Structure 1
């Protein structure tokens, strides 16, 4: 196994220089030719720094732990998380995704803490508790940040108000003269953290209208479930539907068309997330577009929290919404 001493001999530099170059140290100025010579020597020998040893020397790691959420996040959120990982890497953090499925509460926090991350970016889905935040900080985490519709005491929070999504959809459908509104709630477990506030937001948008009616509709993400729901569609007496997201909206829209239900004549259909595929449908899918922060901005928030671990937990509201009217409504 090659060592930093081997790299130093091959490059003709000191071990300290090798450490500065391969750890991207900014405190010491290294010329570009020297930096390139060290990198070429490391590549030739197949040497990489030992992350655990580096963490011991520094007193902390550069690992940002991102536990997997308990629910599928969908294409929109996956894009944001991918951007975030790239941005953190450019800030010299190592991003590690932790498979937390099957864990909950303090059990999950203890498992994360075993890896001694410098920061944890956890989904705000109820998995992390205030006690879990305490466990993580006692283990050396300088920043604990939640991303989702709920905040946790002791942690920084990047709040995404999912009620705003439902309010936006409800206002749009009411403006279109629709008053008998179905709301698709995913049948799959784990979605309640997002789907329940979206339903509540739509109810809030319609509460001043005496003629408005809101009907929750459970739907599994498969064609038989959509066909089963549509088979009793006309009995429900609905003139519109807001689906949990564009994917569920597209699934339902296809089933409605297969059953001969005119969209939007009999039933207006609206989704959320503004996915490209929704614009390719006929009729094109109306949706709620969410103004999410860039991955770079989120990474900078994490970095600031790491640099100031004694600072009071901050709450950042990060979600704006906009109705995007298209042919389906």
Structure 2
């Protein structure tokens, strides 16, 4: 009979331990993984209330003191909601997969993507960036599908194929959206017309009396999806001027490549340059000045993206300003497609362009 109090004590300790905790005899057990039930007990609320608070549910009104008590209990225990378990209960995940683009997207697009991630988070989606470099086509789509996202926002750079869209939708993705210059059958397309960027630049330079235009085409692999239509846009603008000619210029994003191009600039006989974007334009402008080429006297230089750094140069850089949608608008589109996946795929033009004339042209 003397051992009964010890048994009762052990039973009380077992009741106090969080769910799933088991102490082996004579062994020191590892710290158990906290559960929502542990948070509920510590905060003095129901598990449903814990779920509402930690999942930012808006359908149920929870007082601010209760929210704070639940959050403090979760912080004390080190508890975070289990995304996979929540997905099983809901029948789908809240994960939006954003595969990494094959090439650097630049400051302008980075700002848009940051806005988009914040806006999706406010709509209770979890944004996951997937490093799929080295993958292409159906292999990339299968790798994305393994994570079972509810939506995929893929770069419209040729990586995703119609078959890949089918694979993603069969795996449970309710929304497949591409963002870039190309659309893919079966997916919604946020279409950015890169030809318009080149046409705008070409028309501006020709309007300034420049007729021998060099168009910088990045040598780095992967840029062709954007650079080729921009070159085509300049050529289309040049068709309106009988004397105009357009010369593609390969340029690597490094000082040596820029200096080599600048050294032979005189023999090229060009009086203007439209670079792929402001970063390449600034690189070329600096090299031309170092080589003794007068900008804009001998050669006008123009970029695209309207970066702040371009305004700090001397001469200030002329550029093509692109009017992109807000991240909030894109997030709302993704959310609408997730809620109504049976709707037909649509094309949404997103790019407005405007020439910004400064000192370099």
Give yes or no for TM over 0.5: yes
Deviation track 1:38-68 (CA, whole Å, cap 9, x = no partner) reads 1111111111001111111111111000000
Structure 2 Cα separation of the partners of residues 317 and 214 of structure 1: 27
Q: In structure 2, which of residues 291, 305, 308 is the aligned counterpart of residue 259 of structure 1?
A: 291
Structure 2 Cα separation of the partners of residues 102 and 160 of structure 1: 24
Aligned pairs for 1:148-227 within 5 A: 148-227=180-259
**Per chain length, whose mean CA-contact separation is higher, i.e. which structure has more relative contact order (CA < 8 Å, sep 6+)?**
1
Does residue 295 of the first structure (1) align with residue 314 of the second (2)?
no
Aligned pairs for 1:59-74 within 5 A: 59-74=91-106
Equivalence for 1:87? 119
TM-score using structure 2 length:
0.90
Equivalence for 1:127? 159
Runs of 4+ in 1 over 4 A off after TM superposition: none
Does residue 23 of the first structure (1) align with residue 49 of the second (2)?
no
Deviation track 1:100-159 (CA, whole Å, cap 9, x = no partner) reads 100000000000000000100000000000000000000000100000000000001100
In the TM superposition, residue 183 of structure 1 has moved relative to its aligned partner by 0.1
> Number of matched residues?
329
Structure 2 Cα separation of the partners of residues 321 and 255 of structure 1: 27
Equivalence for 1:45? 77
What stretches of structure 2 of length at least 5 have no aligned partner?
Answer: 1-32
Equivalence for 2:176? 144
Deviation track 1:59-95 (CA, whole Å, cap 9, x = no partner) reads 1111000000011111111111111111111111110
Does residue 277 of the first structure (1) align with residue 309 of the second (2)?
yes
In the TM superposition, residue 30 of structure 1 has moved relative to its aligned partner by 2.2
In the TM superposition, residue 25 of structure 1 has moved relative to its aligned partner by 2.1
Give the secondary-structure state (helix, strand or coil) at the position aligned to 1:24: coil
Larger Rg: 2
Deviates more, 1:116-125 or 1:14-23: 14-23
Does residue 102 of the first structure (1) align with residue 138 of the second (2)?
no
Deviation track 1:162-188 (CA, whole Å, cap 9, x = no partner) reads 000000000100110000000000000
Give the secondary-structure state (helix, strand or coil) at the position aligned to 2:217: strand
For the aligned residue pairs, the C-alpha RMSD in angstroms reads 0.8
Does residue 234 of the first structure (1) align with residue 300 of the second (2)?
no
Structure 2 Cα separation of the partners of residues 32 and 225 of structure 1: 60
